[in-house]
Amino acid sequence: MASTATTSQDIPPPEFRELGRRDFDPVWEEMKQWTLARSGDESDRIWQVEHPPVFTLGLAGKREHVLAPGDIPVIDIDRGGQVTYHGPGQLVVYPLINLRRLKLGVRALVEALEQAVIDTLAGYGIDAANRRDAPGVYVEGRKIAALGLRVRNGCTYHGLAFNVNMDLEPFQRINPCGYEGLEVTQVTDLGGPADPMTVWRDLQPHLLRRLGYPTP
């Protein structure tokens, strides 16, 4: 009897969408509603977006980690994790993916996203690593990418914030991801490209490979 098991070649490749610079709230609502309406047969989507300055506080977030937001809004949202900052020059990636179809658990998804960032940075000669105790990607102890996800009906939204070429000062107004004194860094300060779209295009093949999609 022929096997009916799903292989990577049976999985449709994701649709990459570039949203430009958009406010956080409408993008959050759009990805949430699209995820809740999924039938399971449609292709996954991976969105790229840049947000105006905003702090987002996850489900486990504590207001005490928001030290001095000033004129930057703070939004309580439905992803995991603590507080982080989004702003111009940051590459934000939202993988709207069907975990069941890819046969991925949440921990495996987190590690795949982290490793895609690590692979991309390696291409720029930047040595990065993840941490089992604190999701994200780090360069010499400084955080360069943060992750926060929500899973509904076996599908994900929210995702990855990758610092490329931004004003890092707002990170001093919070305890990033709930860690007091955690330093952050970005690609351009480490000798990599200054254009987030260049990093985005370099990241895409690593995302496909690490998430288990068929590659050309």
Task: Establish whether 160 is an annotated binding residue.
Answer: yes
Q: What is the per-residue pLDDT across 130-177, written as a single tens digit (0 to 9) for each?
A: 998 889 999 999 999 999 999 999 999 999 999 999 999 999 999 998
> Does 22 carry a binding-site annotation?
no
The answer to the question of whether 190 is labelled as a binding residue is no
Please tell me whether the overall predicted TM-score, pTM, comes out greater than 0.85 for this model. Answer: yes
Q: What percent of the chain has pLDDT over 70?
A: 95
210 is known to lie in a ligand binding site: no
Catalytic residue ranges: 177
Has 84 been labeled as part of a binding site? Answer: yes
86 is in an annotated binding site: yes
82 is in an annotated binding site: yes
Phi/psi of residue 30, nearest 5 degrees: -65, -45
Q: End-to-end CA distance of the chain, in Å?
A: 29
- In the structure, what pLDDT confidence band is assigned to residue 179 with cuts at 50, 70 and 90? confident
- Tell me the torsion sign for CA atoms 110, 176, 88, 22: positive
What pLDDT does 198 receive? 98
Please report, for residues 47, 70, 141, 201, 213, the alpha-carbon distance to residue 216 in angstroms, rounded to integers and kept in the order given.
20, 47, 35, 15, 10
Q: What residue ranges define each of the domains in the chain, with the CATH number in brackets?
A: 13-211 (3.30.930.10)
pLDDT at 166: 98
DSSP-assigned states of every residue in 11-55:
SPPPEEEEEEE--HHHHHHHHHHHHHT--S-SPPEEEEEE--SEE
pLDDT of amino acid 40? 78
* 48 neighbors 2 (Cβ within 8 angstroms): no
Alpha-carbon dihedral 168, 199, 120, 107, rounded to 10 degrees? 70
pLDDT digits (tens, 9 = 90+) for 75-117: 999 998 899 999 999 999 999 999 999 999 999 999 999 999 9
Per-residue pLDDT tens digits for 106-132: 999 999 999 999 999 999 999 999 998
Average pLDDT in the chain = 93
Q: How many residues does the chain have?
A: 216
CA distance 157 to 177: 18
